Structure 1
Amino acid sequence: MRASRLVSLLLLLQTRGRMTAQELADALEVSVRTVYRDVESLGAAGVPVYADRGPAGGYRLLEGYRTRLTGMTAPEAEALFLAGMPGPAADLGLGPVLAAAELKLLAALPEELADRGGRMRQRFHLDAPGWFRNPEPTPHLSALARAVWEDRLVEVRYRRWKAPREVTRVLAPLGVVLKAGRWYLVAGSGEQVRTYRVGAVLDVVVRDERCERPEGFDLAAYWRDWTQRYERDVYRDEARVRMTVAALEFMPYVFPPAMSRAARAAAGEPDEDGWVYTTVPIESVKHGHVELLKLGAEVEVLAPAELRDRFTATAHALAGLYPATGETTAGASASDPPG
């Protein structure tokens, strides 16, 4: 265990450069005191680790020092091959590059690790898009990805949901993200960082001008914060309902995750008739009407009044189309053949 940690500490300094004892401790999930002892052990083993004093100080390796030691374990080799995503790589125009890299990695790994990596690829497969969704065309994804990699400005013609429907913007691309089978571009627009759906991009011109990435920008952290804000802001209303336990358990299969999670979290204990009272976040009355209809007679809307009125109107309309057994519409006999 300690030998593996020493290798990890060495590789952290080699790949990231100067790091403080606290940063190393956080990365390795150990105490700062343990980091001090490990650094002393590396120095005693002949590794040129130096400590810089002062506010901007930290540990670093002697300039130019590199180790070829990777310390890759069998599980790490398996995980590396599991991380290879041929579909998204092909979308980015990197399919042949990924294939070539895997071949080189297989050739470089010891035979046992290469075999384990190959077995992992044969047994596990990642399919990112949701069910019953055709892949969204993204003809400009590779150009945007190239601009992200080269830090170049792009002029984008984009289709949005509000007027004017088509707009042209000059953006500073910061990253691309694959979410539930859809690609998104994260880019600077003026002083703000915004998110754009790549499938809505109509045209792209990659400019010669370079752009500067904001200091300390973390794509993963931005995306986590943005998705949380999006889910919170998109559901601006809520519906107070009562539903059966079966309907509550069925919600994750037919509702967006944010709606089903909130409804299940707010649900109380079933009453004596087996009904559960809860609150469901909705985008609007119209949206709530469409979504809650999926539960049929297993849910009753209590508020808001406008949404309840919509369900009342829908129930009466359905009763007219589907009368009770033995009754018919338009004066026809229940036994009469149609037509």
Structure 2
Amino acid sequence: MRASRLLQLLMLLQSRGRMTARELAAELEVSVRTVYRDVEALGSSGVPVYADRGPAGGYRLLDGYRTRLTGLTGEEAESLFLTGLPGPAAELGLGAVVAATQVKVLAALPPELRSRAGRVRERFHLDAPGWFRGAEGAPHLAAVADAVWRQRRVRIGYARWDGSAGERVVEPLGLVLKAGLWYLVARAGDLRTYRVSRVGECAPLDEVFERPAGFDLAEYWAAWSERFEERMCAMHVVVRMTPRGLRRARVLLSLAASRALEFVEPDGEWTTVRLPAESPEHALVELLKLGADVEVLEPADLRAHVIATVEALSATYTRPRES
């Protein structure tokens, strides 16, 4: 256990530079006194670690010192090659960089770990887009990613969901890949999320910006995603389904509706359930997929819309065909 902690301490200093004893203790989840003992142990084993005194002081390694990755476990070596994500990296213009990095890491590993890491590349593959949809084109993705990395403001042309377009200057904070789609999190007065495929032009500006203090991309995305799903399910409908309808609904309806049915069991010939929906129009299209295995009970206007649609379909299929 201690050997693993010593290696983790060494890697922290190697990757982050100067760190205080309190910062190391927080990262390693140990006491400051334990950090003192571990640093002393590293020094005794020949690792050139030393302390800078003063308010801005801390522990750091001698400039230029690097260690080989000989402390990895088999599982850790394997996991390195699950994080490469060659497809998304290539979209960001980093495909060659990722490949070169993997070659260097493999060269630094002992033979057994090198073999285990290689097997991961042979046997696991990430295909991010959903079924029946290819990866969405985002011609300005590399430029946006560069602006994120360099903390440069950019002027983008953006096509909104309703077809209108506009131009704005944003401060790009991060990129998120969700189900094969790239999203840009940026500050434009307040924090906003943009679909990168809708960026029609991207002009980097010679203006560096400061990132918001305490901003965490993963936390922002989790909160934004939750709000987005709530907005996308602005209404609920009450329906009853046959057992066959329940089975089909879990496959054919939207993800939100499928989740609502996840633990619903058939209750006789018909089972009444309450489902989320984006709008009456979306609900109509979704529920017609189930045919006679579903009946809309509420709201009344949706039920009337279904009846009118079914009557129109009946009229279409019962009138004589023109020869």
**TM-score, with structure 2 as normaliser:** 0.86
Give the 3 Å change call, closer, same or farther, for CA 249–61 of structure 1 in structure 2: farther
Identify the residue that residue 219 of structure 1 maps to in structure 2.
Answer: 217
2:21–2:59 Cα contact (<8 Å) kept: no
Measure, in 2, the Cα distance between the counterparts of 1:79 and 1:288: 42
Identify the residue that residue 173 of structure 1 maps to in structure 2.
Answer: 172
Identify the residue that residue 237 of structure 1 maps to in structure 2.
Answer: 235
Give the 3 Å change call, closer, same or farther, for CA 46–113 of structure 1 in structure 2: closer
Identify the residue that residue 279 of structure 1 maps to in structure 2.
Answer: 274
Deviation of the 1:116 alpha carbon: 1.3
Identify the residue that residue 335 of structure 1 maps to in structure 2.
Answer: none
Aligned residue pair count: 314
Mapping of residues 1-339 of structure 1, within 5 Å: 1-12=1-12, 15-16=15-16, 17-18=19-20, 20=22, 24=26, 34-35=30-31, 38-39=34-35, 41-47=37-43, 60-62=58-60, 64=62, 68=67, 70=69, 71-162=71-162, 165-190=164-189, 192-264=190-262, 267=264, 270-273=266-269, 275-322=270-317, 329-330=319-320, 339=323
Deviation of the 1:234 alpha carbon: 1.8
Identify the residue that residue 46 of structure 2 maps to in structure 1.
Answer: none
Structure 2 gaps of 5+ residues are 44-48
1:241–1:299 Cα contact (<8 Å) kept: yes
SS of structure 1 residue aligned to 2:289: helix
1:42–1:49 Cα contact (<8 Å) kept: no
Measure, in 2, the Cα distance between the counterparts of 1:276 and 1:37: 63
Measure, in 2, the Cα distance between the counterparts of 1:240 and 1:257: 17
Give the 3 Å change call, closer, same or farther, for CA 238–20 of structure 1 in structure 2: farther
- Identity %, equivalent residues: 47
Deviation of the 1:93 alpha carbon: 0.9
Give the 3 Å change call, closer, same or farther, for CA 270–148 of structure 1 in structure 2: same
**TM-score, with structure 1 as normaliser:** 0.82
Deviation of the 1:254 alpha carbon: 2.5
Q: Which string of whole-angstrom CA distances, capped at 9 and with x for unpartnered residues, describes residues 85-133 of structure 1?
A: 1211111111111112122222222222222111111101000001111
SS of structure 1 residue aligned to 2:186: strand
Deviation of the 1:3 alpha carbon: 2.7
2:25–2:31 Cα contact (<8 Å) kept: no
Give the 3 Å change call, closer, same or farther, for CA 96–11 of structure 1 in structure 2: closer
Aligned amino acid, residue 256 of structure 1: S
1:174–1:186 Cα contact (<8 Å) kept: yes
Give the 3 Å change call, closer, same or farther, for CA 104–295 of structure 1 in structure 2: same
Measure, in 1, the Cα distance between the counterparts of 2:285 and 2:119: 45
Deviation of the 1:204 alpha carbon: 0.8
Q: Which string of whole-angstrom CA distances, capped at 9 and with x for unpartnered residues, describes residues 204-224 of structure 1?
A: 100111111111111111111
Measure, in 1, the Cα distance between the counterparts of 2:60 and 2:134: 52
Structure 1 gaps of 5+ residues are 324-328, 333-337
Measure, in 2, the Cα distance between the counterparts of 1:220 and 1:113: 31
Give the 3 Å change call, closer, same or farther, for CA 42–174 of structure 1 in structure 2: same
Give the 3 Å change call, closer, same or farther, for CA 38–251 of structure 1 in structure 2: farther
Deviation of the 1:250 alpha carbon: 3.5
Aligned amino acid, residue 125 of structure 1: H
